[in-house]
Amino acid sequence: GGLLCAAAAAGPPPRSYPHSAVLDGAAAYLLRWGRRGSALAFRLEVRTRGYVGFGLSASGGMASADIVVGGVERGQPYLQDYFTDENRVLKKDPQQDYRLEYAMENSTHTILAFSRELHTCDTNDKSITESTVRVIWAYHHKDMGEAGQNYHGSNRGTKSLRLLNPEKEDVSSASLPYFDLTNKDVPVPDKDTTYWCQMFKIPVQHEKHHVTKVEPLIQKGHENLVHHILLYQCSSNLNDSVLDYGHECYHPNMPDSFLTCETVIFAWAIGGEGFTYPPHVGLSIGTAADPQFVLMEVHYDNPSYTEGLIDNSGLRLIYTPVIRKYDAGVIEAGLWVSLFHNIPPGMPEFVSEGHCTLECLEEALGAERPAGIHVFAVLLHAHLAGRAIRMRHFHNGEEQKLLAYDDEFDFNFQEFQYLKEERTILPGDNLITECHYSTVDRIRMTWGGLSTRNEMCLSYLLYYPRINLTRCASIPDIMEQLQFIGVKEIYRPVRTWPFIIKSPKQYKNLSFMDAMNKFKWSRSEGLSYNELVLKLPVNVRCSKTDNAEWSIQGMTALPPEIERPYKTEPVICSSSSCLRCSLFLTLSFVVHITASTIGNIGPFV
């Protein structure tokens, strides 16, 4: 392979890699990484003496990926920048943007350290942003030169990570007390996907304590089986009888008590770490106002239908009697989960918006915290049709920087994103959760609902100080949705849900759901419908704990006039390729270079 820039110095590897993730089940491939100004530095430690492949991909597959391959062959380090087209054909990138910094091979492992600018101006590279990144990896026991592109067989895979998550101050919690919420001998069914729900009672601390950290406890050997874990706060009006047994979540026979657990207080996903609260904030436990009952949802992923698996994974909550300055709260913002949220089939792109309205925030903050609340982390939540989610923030009608976003949303990788800087939400603000979906592969309507084949459009805001506001959401008006498909009248009074249609004849005695499915959706009809639903008046949801409500709840509001789509900030890119460093610097002072200009320098392979 061609050496990049200069032969990599065989000196000691840099220690500036605060993040790490094991990419494979066998722990043979370790990735470490860290931010360095406008670049990202990577270090791969892989159990092979052949080549090592690493890449960034939109889909998690080999198609249209940005790939680097390297190794040490006969004592000579090599690192080469490649890309693949939509047919997965590997091509050498004419603009080499990965810079080799260190390479070492011993009797068992190959170690490579290299860096790359976040934005390289190269159309064959993927920009690295705060969105989820699908990292692809591979390795082979032979080097590239020995047999060209050796097929890497089963030594390959993909993992979703957030490469630009801000670093957390890791305060040592070794000496602090903790309690575990773990499943007890759950028989994992021999099917692709299982969601298992178990209710727990927070062990009673007779006085106030603060949870400072939540960590995953994954049973050894089950690292690829346990896909994600969510912890929900439940109604405090339950009694201990709900603790007796676990059950499949979202199941018709699921216990009613599970339906009272709606607010996510912790989320972990495969590849992720635990969650540490900022030093001045904690999750309060032990008082009457705190969570008493919680529901843990574990997503098991068993694509090989393995039988006889028994799991005891769960969570560890580390707490302290030393009370921190503020209690953390969680607000669920976005679209209230209901059939009023629906997405036509066959749509490559459909946008839904959920409103945390000015009216709701005005009332709740005005009464409880006129100085505003401070958001420090956000979880963006949708289901399998979700492709991108943005949390838009307006102050007195003027748009602020995005509160959080994920333009490469991956349902199987959901975690709270720490904000780089805390964001204050004041009376006079409003928030919009904007969700982008693709239903190209579906032939029936997709409905708002709990199951993974249904959809959601939610943001969970972690903030302090805690106020009595648990949900700030909206429901779009239903009547204009019915008129869109030609419904004239429904049977009144409405005694059933979903209600029954009276006329016209083609929908007579059908439910709202059946009529929407009967309507012949084309892409252009879907687009017109999308325009309509974004303008519909919304019903305001503005809830307190245990289903109490602020007085604004149930009022109708008009969605604010906003610019669509959201205008993203322009990206400043720079190339780290040695061949082009001086050329690029000269040019960048003279002329604004577009990505396509750079992409056309040099012959394509």
Residue 61 shares a structural domain with residue 108: yes
Q: At which of 327, 354, 373 does a domain end?
A: 327
Residue 384 shares a structural domain with residue 518: no
Residue 373 shares a structural domain with residue 417: yes
Q: Scan for tokens 């198609």, then name that residue.
A: 63
DSSP code, position 553: T
Residue 392 shares a structural domain with residue 358: yes
Inside any domain, residue 150: yes
Residue 302 shares a structural domain with residue 180: yes
Residue 341 shares a structural domain with residue 446: yes
For residue 13, the model assigns a pLDDT of 52
Q: Scan for tokens 């929407």, then name that residue.
A: 516
C-alpha torsion 99→105→110→113, nearest 10: -20
- Determine what percent of the chain falls in helix, strand and coil, rounding each to the nearest 5: 10, 40, 50
For residue 272, the model assigns a pLDDT of 72
Q: Considering 140, 381, 393, 436, which one is annotated as catalytic?
A: 381
Instruction: Please state the pTM of the whole predicted model.
Output: 0.84
- Tell me, rounded to whole angstroms, the distance of Cα 283 from its chain centroid: 22
Nearest of 267, 277, 263 to residue 232 by alpha carbon: 263
- Determine how β-strand 186-188 pairs with β-strand 263-269: unpaired
Helix (H, G, I), strand (E, B) or coil at 260: helix
Respond yes or no: is residue 305 known to be catalytic: no
- Residue 509: which region, alpha, beta or left (left: phi > 0; alpha: psi -120 to 50)? left
Is 464 within 8 Å of 376 (Cβ atoms)?
yes
Respond yes or no: is residue 592 known to be catalytic: no
**Phi (first) and psi of residue 421, to 5 degrees:** -130, 140
Element (H, E) at 181: strand 178-182
Element (H, E) at 590: helix 578-590
Max alpha carbon distance in the chain (Å)? Answer: 82
Q: At which of 127, 161, 195 does a domain end?
A: 161
Looking up residue 314, the CATH number of its domain turns out to be 2.60.120.310
Give DSSP secondary structure letters for 455-518: B--EEEEEEES--S--EEEEEE-SHHHHHHTT--EE-SS--SSS-BEEESGGGTT-BHHHHHHH
C-beta neighbour count of 462 within 10 angstroms: 26
d(C-alpha 436, C-alpha 352), whole Å = 7
Is 208 within 8 Å of 315 (Cβ atoms)?
no
d(C-alpha 234, C-alpha 216), whole Å = 20
Cβ neighbours of residue 103 under 8 Å, at least 6 residues apart?
8, 10, 70, 71, 72, 77, 79, 110, 111, 112, 113
For the record, the structure tokens of 304 come out as 């090989």
Nearest of 142, 119, 582, 557 to residue 355 by alpha carbon: 557
Inside any domain, residue 9: no
Residue 282 shares a structural domain with residue 394: no
Inside any domain, residue 482: yes
Residue 249 shares a structural domain with residue 311: yes
Inside any domain, residue 600: no
Q: At which of 130, 161, 192 does a domain end?
A: 161
Is the torsion defined by CA of 415, 420, 426, 430 positive or negative?
negative
For residue 524, the model assigns a pLDDT of 97
For residue 250, the model assigns a pLDDT of 82
For residue 148, the model assigns a pLDDT of 57
Q: Scan for tokens 């963006």, then name that residue.
A: 380
Inside any domain, residue 471: no
Kindly report the length of the chain.
Answer: 605
Residue 179 shares a structural domain with residue 322: yes
Residue 278 shares a structural domain with residue 374: no
Inside any domain, residue 503: yes
Residue ranges of the chain whose pLDDT lies below 70: 1-15, 145-153, 166-173, 205, 271, 575-605
User: What's the number of domains the chain is made of?
Assistant: 4
Cβ neighbours of residue 205 under 8 Å, at least 6 residues apart?
285, 286, 319
Q: How many helices (H) and strands (E) does the chain have?
A: 7, 40
d(C-alpha 471, C-alpha 173), whole Å = 32
d(C-alpha 455, C-alpha 470), whole Å = 20
DSSP H helices in 343-423 = 358-368
Strand order from edge to edge, sheet including 538-543: 417-425, 373-381, 458-464, 329-335, 471-476, 538-543, 556-557
Residue 119 shares a structural domain with residue 55: yes
Q: Considering 82, 195, 319, 418, which one is annotated as catalytic?
A: 195
Residue 312 shares a structural domain with residue 187: yes
Domain enclosing residue 452, as ranges: 331-460
For residue 570, the model assigns a pLDDT of 80
d(C-alpha 90, C-alpha 87), whole Å = 9
Inside any domain, residue 77: yes
Inside any domain, residue 563: no
Looking up residue 73, the CATH number of its domain turns out to be 2.60.40.1210
For residue 452, the model assigns a pLDDT of 77
Can you give the three-state secondary structure of 313-352, one letter per residue? Answer: CEEEEEEECCCCCEECEEEEEEECCCCCCEECCCCCCEEE
